[in-house]
Chain A
C-alpha cells in the first residue's frame, strides 16, 4: 500500500509504527512541520525546559522500560543542547533515537540562522547518524535508526531532518526489515569458546563473576543467577550492573571499583578466574591496570567485540548477547560437570565470607549529625528497596550505589560512563512516565541538581510525582573530597554556600512542587513518608554533614587492594603521592 504524505507525516507515521508512545523535546523553527503533525498523533509529547533535559528524560525512560527513548530538538542550539545527553547515552549503551531539525538543504553549509553541523558534531558520540536529504528516505531511515539503537550493543542514533525535507512529499512505504549490509551483531556465542569457558569455570578454585550493565540490557539476570547459584560463585557488579544480581543474595559481594566494597575488590585481586559479563573493565573498576587481577584468567562475554581485549586481556573471549551466551554456558557446564573435577572451594568461600563480615560498608553512625548515608538507608527502608532510584553524579551517586541495595534490574538509573551531573532529575521524570505505577526517587546532590533544576516544571506539568532527595552538603562534594585528599585541602571553587543560595524549598514551591527541608536526623523518616504520600513532585532538601566523604576509596592510579578511608574516623591516612595522575 502506498500513501502520499509529507516528510513530517512520514516521520510521525514511522515513529508510530515503531511503537513510540512518548517523546521528549522542544520545538523550534525548523521542527515546526513535525510538531504540527505530532499535535494530532497519539504519541505523548513531553515538553521539557531544556533540550539536555529531553535527552536525559528519554534516556531515563529507556533505562526504566527497556524500550527505545526518543527525544527531539530544533537545529543549531537545540541540537547542541542535546549533545551531552546523547554522549551520556552512548557511554552507557542506552537505546535512544534523537531527532533534530536542520536548516533547509539549500542553506546547509551557508552558516544560516540556527545552523550547526549536527551530524558532524555528534559523529563521535552516536552509534550511527543520518542527514536526510530526500523525504522518500524517511521511512527507511527511521526504521534503521530504531533497529540500530536497540540491537547489538544499544546506543543513540541521531536523525537530522532539514525543514524542506519535512515539508517535501513522498509515497510512504515501509520495508519488512531494515537493509543494513554492514550491521550484523553477533548474538550467539562461539560453541568451542563456551565449552572452554565452562571447563575453566568448573576447574577454577577462586572464581568471581563480574557483572556489568550488559546483563541488564540483555535481560540476562535469571541466567546469571543460575550461573552463580549452580556453581556457588560470588558475584560483584559495576555501577551499571546494579540490579543485575540481587544485592541481598548471599553470593553478592556488592559493587567493585573505586568506591566498591573491600570484599569485591579483594576478591578481584585474589581470584584465579574472572567471569566478566557485559562489562568493560573501565578505569574506575580496574584501578591501576598493571596490578589488576594479577592471578586471574579472564572469561570476557560481551556483545561488542571491540570491548574484548581493549583494556584487559581476555583469555577466553566470547562475543555474543549475554543472555544467550549465559544460557548456553549454563547448559555446557551442566553437561561437563561429571567429567571435570572441581577443586575444593571452601577456603575461597570462607575468605569471602570473612571479608564481607570484617569490612561491611559503614560510616560514623554515632556522630549526631545528619549523615548522607543515613538518608539513603532510610529511603531504602521506607521504600522497601522497591523504588526506582535515579542519581545525579558525584558523592550522592556513590552513596546511593552503596546504600540503596537493589534486588532487580532497571531500578537503579545512573550516569555511569560520562558521569553527567544534572542527569538524575530529568532521567527520573522519564523513568516515572515510563513506569507510572512505581515510586521514583532522584537521589541528588545540591551541585548536580542545579544543572537541570528547571525540569521541575516538566515534572509538575506532566504529573510525574518524582521525589528529589537532595543530599545538600553545600559543596561540589566529590570535588571537595578530592581537594581534601589530594590537593592539600584547598577548596578551590567547590563551595556552593548553601546558607546563601538557593533556598531549595522556595525553589520547589516556585515550580509548583512541594519542598521540605530536613536538618535533624530525627526528621528524616517523617519527610520521606510525607514525600511518599504526596501525589505530586516533592523536593526534600537534606542538609547533611558538609564534609562527609565517600569511603572506602581506591585513590586514582592505585591498585584495587589499596583502599582507604573506611577503617578509621576521621581519616588521617591519605596518600597524596598517589595523586600523580588525577583525572577527575
Chain B
C-alpha cells in the first residue's frame, strides 16, 4: 500500500543522504522522493512516497524520527491533503499530429514549453493518476523523453 509521508528536516548538508541510506539499510522501498526548501530557509520538506504494509510504515516513521535532523513526519491521508506532481514530456510530432497533441495538452491544462520541428516539450501538473492518463494518451504519438518530479503534498486547511 502506498503512503505519502511529508517530512520536515533541517536544511543541512547530508540530510538527503541520511534519509536515503536509512531506507536502503532497512529495506524500505521509496516510490518517489521530492525535496525542496520551505518558507523557512533552515527547513526543507521531503515528500516521500513509500510502498509498504501498515506494520512496516510504522517502522519507517519511527526509524525516520530517529534521524537527528528530522523534525516532523506526517503521514498524509489522501482525503485531507492535496498532492501534485509535474511531468515534462518530449513528444514526437509532425505537421499532421502536432495539433492533435496540442489538443490533448489543452484538455489536461498543460503548457507547451518548447517547440521544435520534430517534437514538443509539454509540462503537465496534477495528481499522479492524471499524469498517468496524460502519458497514456500521448504515448501513441511517441514519447522521446519523459521526467516526473515525484509527488509533493500538503495537508488541507488550518
Q: For residue B55, which residues in chain A have a CB less than 8 angstroms away from its CB?
A: 309
Instruction: Given A124-B21, A124-B25, A306-B62, decide whether A182 and B14 contact each other with a Cβ distance below 8 A.
Output: no
Residue of A whose beta carbon sits closest to that of B15: A182
Interface string of B68-87 (1 = CB under 8 A from A): 11111000000000000000
- Given A182-B9, A182-B68, A183-B68, do A131 and B62 touch, yes or no (CB 8 Å)? no
The answer to whether residues A182 and B70 also contact, given A306-B59, A306-B65 and a CB cut-off of 8 A, is: yes
User: Does residue A304 face the partner (Cβ distance < 8 Å to B)?
Assistant: yes
Q: Are B21 and A306 in contact (CB under 8 A)?
A: no
**Distance between A518 CB and nearest chain B CB, rounded to angstroms:** 45
Specify which of B18, B25, B66, B72 lies most central, judged by the most chain A CB atoms within 10 Å of its CB.
Answer: B66
Residue among A123, A124, A131, A306 with most chain B CB within 10 A = A306
Q: A120-B17, A123-B17, A124-B25 are in contact. Are A306 and B68 (CB under 8 A)?
A: no
Q: Which residues of B contact A309 (CB under 8 A)?
A: 55, 58-59
Question: Which residue of chain A lies nearest to B14 when distances are taken between CB atoms in the complex?
Answer: A119
Determine if A180 is an interface residue (Cβ-Cβ < 8 Å): yes
Question: Complex formed: what's the CA distance from A181 to B25 in Å?
Answer: 25
A214 to nearest B CB, angstroms?
15
**What is the interface residue range for chain A against chain B?**
10 to 19
Q: How many angstroms between the C-alpha atoms of A119 and B14 in the bound complex?
A: 9
Q: Which of B14, B63, B69, B70 contacts A131 (CB 8 A)?
A: B14
Taking a contact as CB atoms closer than 8 A, the residue among A180, A305, A310 that contacts B68 in the complex is A180
B1-28: which have CB < 8 Å to A? 9-10, 13-14, 17-18, 21, 25
Chain A positions 136 through 157: 1 when the CB is less than 8 Å from some CB of chain B, otherwise 0: 0000000000001000000000
Whether the Cβ atoms of A304 and B21 lie closer than 8 Å is no
Interface residue A128 (Cβ < 8 Å from any Cβ of B): yes
Q: Which residues of A contact B (CB under 8 A)?
A: 119-120, 123-124, 127-128, 131, 148, 180-183, 304-306, 308-310
Beyond A124-B21, A306-B65, 20 extra complex contacts between A and B, CB < 8 Å? A123-B21, A127-B66, A127-B68, A128-B68, A131-B13, A180-B68, A181-B71, A182-B9, A182-B10, A182-B67, A182-B69, A182-B70, A182-B71, A182-B72, A304-B66, A305-B62, A306-B59, A306-B62, A309-B59, A310-B59
What are 11 pairs between A and B in contact, CB < 8 Å? A120-B17, A123-B21, A127-B66, A128-B67, A181-B71, A182-B10, A182-B71, A305-B65, A306-B62, A306-B65, A309-B58
